């Protein structure tokens, strides 16, 4: 039932073929088309991801034996710092919104582009400048930054390594994030197709919309905090340095006021993608649309109140500790509700477990582990033991990697045919996923146990009794990386010689599946009028036959 | 392997088991339901989906029950945590200084040392501060840690339930030798402890020269023998 649109493939100009003022590389670097900008982001992020992954590979290698294997402690400390900075600021925060959001937000709401296309391109330039500054800082005289991605004072004020440049990079990246947020909020408010009310928006859009608000509200705080550290480092005004009467805990508060909400910037868009993929492959309307949409907003706002749970052992007052613990448990609830809704959506569906759906299943499993171990860390008695151990490292990799990055991969496989008009080898994609999941759990589940046994994080060296588990984890990292590489190679081959995919290979119902693959420059021949909710499969034929 | 050295630590393990137990049930429930649905409602078996938009009662249930569950978890976590901290009256006080990259312990009688000795029969309150960047005093066997912050004092209360020697690590990243900031905590019978406290005086604790992994300050130990 999905192929009725294929015939239109021949007689239109898609956005790759379209000749604008510039051609070749300039046709990309100066294009204000949201689709090209989305692909620029995706390309940059995949590149940075591979760099971050390589750093992780070498860290694991160094931990094969206690003591020195292939690098000294200074190098190790720089590696985990760079790994963290790259994965957080260059991969996962721009992540799904900047890449897939740019490509699909306008199409899903029936718009020709975002509200401010030039600003959109400018955001990508800020992102690139930020990334290049971060790279350039490695070659400055001080040497690569070694503070950890959290930049805690007073260490960040005293280390001899180059701190100011990477901080300025993060500052600039923050602006990129804010401007994208502004663009998305405006676009969702102003450019929805006729008939597309807020409660007919696809859940991916709800997620992007909530995320955009956090970006706008939260990011200026980290920007200011970063500037304060720079000022403190340059002029020693005594804000955070206790030796000059400053307060290091103030820095932690300012840092986490942004950086906790930032974890929702990372996860909400992924949740949105999940809410797209499950209905498509189950041919079924989502269970509890309202609850999922509203819980995104709820998470966005309650999530701004729980930053203190990163600081249970920082020396803040015991009263704040229990208040933050309490709020943390409350904010866990909407995420749990979403998982129940997704699984319930599968009930009485008509499920075809194709590649993107399998990635989502892996996500639900891994993200649940991440979320549930979050409860262990939200509880005071257990967190005091586990804070800053490998247990935390395991927890956040399950959430950010098993959660967001797995869905980033799912989205790549889901929208690949739409973005490129071609299909990859689904069998190999599934095998790659299986390998990844096995390696992932070997690597990170071991960390939970190491953490409970008292292995602190950011350790170049460790007690001999931990060696067996460290080696097992390192072998896991090889397995996982093999899976990741297989996945990317397979996608790359699909890009080069994949078969034509048709316009709607999965049988999706949201608007992007009604336009040709790849879409034309302004997406629609004629802006559609929306009559039904995004997943009302009872109207599937009517919606998808109404083709552009 | 999962060594505990105090009733407090055992209680932490209990809270851990409680939360993990509930979590495992939830995880299995979610995973099994998901896998079952994928097979039971595969497109082959079930070619046409039934369009279910929601179910208010079900959705209320799965908000209310998890709310109760997490409140139980919160309570046990909170109660366990404040158990020792709320009542440190009359505890034996030892001062703890952290620096890059070592520890210093100072006793009420002026004795200083670089490994920590405490008596078994009494609560000990560690009053801590940092001489430079942040550190965190972490004793896995006691399931306790707390940061050391310059210009400010923080504390930990210990109530050991057995004698022995336990690892102490730095858990807040502090630069180059962060991973080599290990020292030892020795819990002694009260009489032994008193002996140690006196015999050691006025000898100053030697800085731990070990640049590799934890090694005890042999000197103080020798005095005890
Ligand atoms: C691709 C394979 C990956 C490997 C092998 C890996 C491995 C590691 C290792 C060994 C550490 C250091 C733990 C420590 O010494 O405390 C670490 C830290 C970290 N990782 Fe990963 N990781 C990977 C992917 C990711 C991803 C996808 C993300 C996020 C999207 C991520 C985010 C982080 C963060 C934020 C840190 C903390 C850095 C810090 O302590 O400052 N990692 N990772
Ligand atoms: Cu330290």
pLDDT digits (tens, 9 = 90+) for B38-97: 999 999 999 988 888 888 899 899 889 999 999 999 999 998 888 888 888 889 999 999
Given a cut of 80, is residue A262 above it in pLDDT? yes
Report CA(A393)–ligand 2 centroid distance (Å): 18
Within-domain flag for A475: yes
Q: Does a structural domain hold residue B191?
A: yes
Query: Two tokens at A266?
Result: 């990372």
For residue A253, the 8-state DSSP code is H
| Ligand located closest to B171 CA | 2
Q: Is A151 among the domain residues?
A: yes
In a domain? residue A1: no
> For residue A3, is it within any domain?
no
Same domain, yes or no: B107 and B209: yes
Query: Is residue A457 within 6 Å of ligand 1 at its C-beta?
Result: yes
pLDDT computed for residue A10 by the predictor: 54
Tell whether the torsion through CA atoms of A301, A305, A309 and A311 is positive or negative.
Answer: positive
Q: pLDDT, tens digit, for every residue of A4-62?
A: 334 344 578 888 888 878 888 888 888 999 999 999 999 999 999 999 999 999 999 99
Asked if B63 and B112 sit in the same domain, the reply is: no
Residue A336, classed as helix, strand or coil, is helix
Shared domain for B49 and B96, answered yes or no, is no
Residue B153's closest chain A neighbor by CA?
A315
CB A479 within 8 A of CB A468: no
Q: Which residues in B lie closer than 8 A to residue A452 (C-beta atoms)?
A: 2, 16
Residues B113 and B210 placed together within one structural domain of the fold:
yes
> What does the pLDDT read at residue B2?
78
- For residues B16 and B41, membership in a common domain is answered with yes
* Containing structural domain, residue B22: 7-86
Q: Is A50 exposed, middle or buried (0-12, 13-18, 19+ CB in 10 A)?
A: middle
pLDDT at B122 exceeding the cut of 50: yes
In 3D space, the residue among B103, B167, B153 whose CA is nearest the CA of residue B125 turns out to be: B153
* Dist CA A414 CA A255 (whole Å): 35
**What CATH number does residue B68 fall under?**
1.10.287.90
Q: Could you give the strand order of the β-sheet that contains B112-113, starting from the edge strand earlier in sequence?
A: B112-113, B102-106, B92-99, B124-130, B154-158
Query: Where are the alpha helices (H) located in A303-452, listed in sequence order?
Result: 318-346, 355-378, 380-386, 390-396, 406-420, 426-452
Q: CA nearest A170: which of A262, A264, A294? A: A262
Smallest-distance ligand from the CA of B173: 2
Same domain flag for B39 and B114: no
B54 plus B118 within the same structural domain: no
Ligand 1 center to A141 CA (angstroms): 26
Residue A100 maps to which CATH number?
1.20.210.10
Helix residue spans in A283-317 (DSSP H): 289-302
Assess whether the previous peptide bond of A28 is cis (omega < 30° from 0): no
| Residue B46 placed within a domain | yes
Is B47 within a domain? yes
Nearest to A337 among B12, B62, B169 (CB): B62
Give domain status of residue B152, yes or no: yes
* Residue A219 resides in a domain: yes
Of B86, B114, B147, the residue at which a domain comes to its end is B86
pLDDT at B121: 87
User: Tokens representing A499?
Assistant: 């078969």
Domain boundary among B47, B63, B86: B86
Domain that holds residue A148: 11-545
Residues B71, A329: C-beta atoms closer than 8 Å? yes
With beta carbons less than 8 A apart as the criterion, state whether A302 and A337 touch: no
Please report which confidence band the pLDDT of residue A316 belongs to, taking 50, 70 and 90 as the band edges: confident
pLDDT band at A294 (very low <50, low <70, confident <90, very high): confident
Count of structural domains within chain A = 1
List CB contacts of A479: < 8 A, sequence separation 6 or more.
A435, A438, A439, A442, A443
Distance CA A16, CA A31 (A): 11
- The minimal CB distance from A387 to the residues B50, B145, B154 is found for B145
Q: Is residue B69 domain-shared with residue B109, that is, in the same domain? A: no
Name the closest residue on chain B to residue A312, using Cα atoms: B146
What is residue B32's predicted lDDT score, i.e. its pLDDT? 96
Whether the per-residue pLDDT at B205 is higher than 50: the answer is no
Please give the average per-residue pLDDT across A304-315, as a whole number: 88
Residue whose tokens read 């868009």: A269
Ligand 2 midpoint to CA A53 (Å): 27
Residue contact A283–B49, C-beta within 8 A: yes
Which one of A68, A274, A315 makes the best mutation probe of the B interface by having the most chain B beta carbons within 10 Å?
Answer: A315
Q: Which one has a higher pLDDT value, B173 or A3?
A: B173
The answer on B96 and B82 residing in a single domain is: no
The enclosing domain of B165 has a CATH number of 2.60.40.420
pLDDT of residue B137: 96
Residue of A nearest to B43 (CA): A350
CB contact under 8 A, A375 and B70: yes
- Helix A248-282 with A318-346: angle, nearest 10 deg: 10
The ipTM, to two decimals, is 0.90
Q: Is residue A4 part of a domain?
A: no
CB A117 less than 6 A from any atom of ligand 1: no
* Omega within 30 of 0 (cis) for the link into A518: yes
Query: Does residue B104 fall inside a structural domain?
Result: yes
B105 & B176 share domain: yes
Q: Strand B92-99 and strand A422-423: pairing?
A: unpaired
Residue with tokens 């402690």: A73
In a domain, B208, yes or no: yes
Tokens of A340: 């129940």
Closest by Cα among A470, A423, A422, A424 to A446: A470
Q: Which two tokens stand for residue A527?
A: 């802006």
Question: What mean pLDDT value characterizes chain A?
Answer: 91
How many domains would you assign to chain B?
A: 2
One domain for residues B25 and B64: yes
For residue A262, report the distance from its CA to the centre of ligand 1, in Å: 17
Domain final residue pick, B51, B86, B121: B86
A5 domain-assigned: no
- B1 within some domain: no
- Domain co-membership, B97 together with B164: yes
Q: How far apart are CA A82 and CA A51, in angstroms?
A: 10
From chain A, the residues in CB contact with B80 under 8 A are: 380-381
Q: Does the beta carbon of B211 lie under 8 angstroms from any beta carbon of chain A? A: no
């Amino acid at each position: 039932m999905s192929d009725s649109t294929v015939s239109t493939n021949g007689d239109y100009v898609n956005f790759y073929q379209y000749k604008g003022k510039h051609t070749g590389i300039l046709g990309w670097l100066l294009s204000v088309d949201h689709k090209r900008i989305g692909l620029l982001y995706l390309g940059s992020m995949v590149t940075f991801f591979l760099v971050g992954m390589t750093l992780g590979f070498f860290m694991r290698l160094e931990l094969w034996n206690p003591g020195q294997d292939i690098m000294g402690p200074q190098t190790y400390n720089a590696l985990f710092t760079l790994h963290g900075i790259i994965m957080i600021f260059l991969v996962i925060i721009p992540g799904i919104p900047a890449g897939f959001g740019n490509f699909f937000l306008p199409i899903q709401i029936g718009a020709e582009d975002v509200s401010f296309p030039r600003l959109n391109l400018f955001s990508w330039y800020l992102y690139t400048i930020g990334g290049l500054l971060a790279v350039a800082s490695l070659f400055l005289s001080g040497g690569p930054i070694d503070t950890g991605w959290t930049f805690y004072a007073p260490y960040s004020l005293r280390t001899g390594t180059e701190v100011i440049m990477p901080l300025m990079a993060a500052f600039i990246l923050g602006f990129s994030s804010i401007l994208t947020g502004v663009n998305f909020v405006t676009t969702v408010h102003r450019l929805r197709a006729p008939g597309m009310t807020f409660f007919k928006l696809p859940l991916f859009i709800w997620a992007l919309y909530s995320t955009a608000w956090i970006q706008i509200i939260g990011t200026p705080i980290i920007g200011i905090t970063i500037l304060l550290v720079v000022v403190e480092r340059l002029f020693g005004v005594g804000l955070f340095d206790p030796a000059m009467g400053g307060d290091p805990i103030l820095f932690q508060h300012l840092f986490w006021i942004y950086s906790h909400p930032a974890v929702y910037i990372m996860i909400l868009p992924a949740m949105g993608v999940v809410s797209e993929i499950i209905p498509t492959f189950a041919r079924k309307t989502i269970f509890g649309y309202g609850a999922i949409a509203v819980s995104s907003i709820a998470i966005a706002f309650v999530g701004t109140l729980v930053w203190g749970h990163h600081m249970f052992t920082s020396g803040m007052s015991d009263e704040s500790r229990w208040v933050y613990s309490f709020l943390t448990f409350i904010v866990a609830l909407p995420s749990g509700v979403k998982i129940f809704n997704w699984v319930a959506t599968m009930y009485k569906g008509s499920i075809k477990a194709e590649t993107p759906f399998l990635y989502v299943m892996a996500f639900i499993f891994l993200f649940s582990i991440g979320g549930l171990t979050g409860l262990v860390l939200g509880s005071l008695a257990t967190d005091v033991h586990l804070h800053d151990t490998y247990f935390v490292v395991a927890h956040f990799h399950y959430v950010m990697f098993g959660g967001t990055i797995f869905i980033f991969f799912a989205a790549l496989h889901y929208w690949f045919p739409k973005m490129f008009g071609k299909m990859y080898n689904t069998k190999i994609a599934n095998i790659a996923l299986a390998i990844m999941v096995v390696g992932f759990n070997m690597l990170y589940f071991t960390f939970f146990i190491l953490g409970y046994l008292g292995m602190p994080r950011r350790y170049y060296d460790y007690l001999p009794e931990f060696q067996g588990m460290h080696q097992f984890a390192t072998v896991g990292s090889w397995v996982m990386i093999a899976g990741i590489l297989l996945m990317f190679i397979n996608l790359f081959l699909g890009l080069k010689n994949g078969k034509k995919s048709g316009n709607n290979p999965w049988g999706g119902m949201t608007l992007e599946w009604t336009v040709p693959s790849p879409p034309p420059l302004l997406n629609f021949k004629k802006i559609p009028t929306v009559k039904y909710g995004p997943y009302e499969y009872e109207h599937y034929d009517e919606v998808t036959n109404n083709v552009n | 392997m999962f060594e505990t050295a105090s009733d407090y630590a055992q209680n932490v393990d209990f809270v851990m088991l409680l939360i993990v137990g509930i979590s495992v049930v939830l995880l299995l429930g979610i995973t099994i339901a998901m896998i079952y649905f994928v097979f039971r409602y595969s497109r082959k078996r079930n070619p046409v989906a039934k369009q279910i938009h929601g179910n208010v009662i079900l959705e209320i249930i799965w908000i209310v029950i998890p709310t109760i569950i997490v409140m139980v978890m919160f309570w046990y976590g909170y109660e366990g945590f404040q158990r020792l901290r709320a009542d440190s009256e009359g505890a034996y006080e030892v001062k703890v200084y952290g620096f890059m990259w070592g520890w210093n312990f100072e006793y009420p009688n002026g004795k200083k040392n670089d490994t920590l000795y405490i008596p078994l029969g009494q609560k000990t309150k560690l009053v801590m501060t940092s001489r430079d960047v942040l550190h965190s005093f972490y004793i896995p066997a006691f399931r306790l840690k707390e940061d050391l912050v310059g210009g400010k004092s923080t504390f930990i209360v210990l109530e050991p339930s057995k004698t022995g020697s336990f690892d102490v690590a730095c858990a807040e990243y502090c630069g180059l030798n962060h991973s080599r900031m290990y020292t030892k905590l020795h819990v002694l019978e009260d009489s032994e402890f008193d002996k140690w406290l006196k015999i050691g005086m006025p000898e100053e604790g030697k800085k731990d020269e070990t640049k590799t992994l934890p090694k005890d300050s042999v000197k103080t130990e020798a005095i005890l023998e």
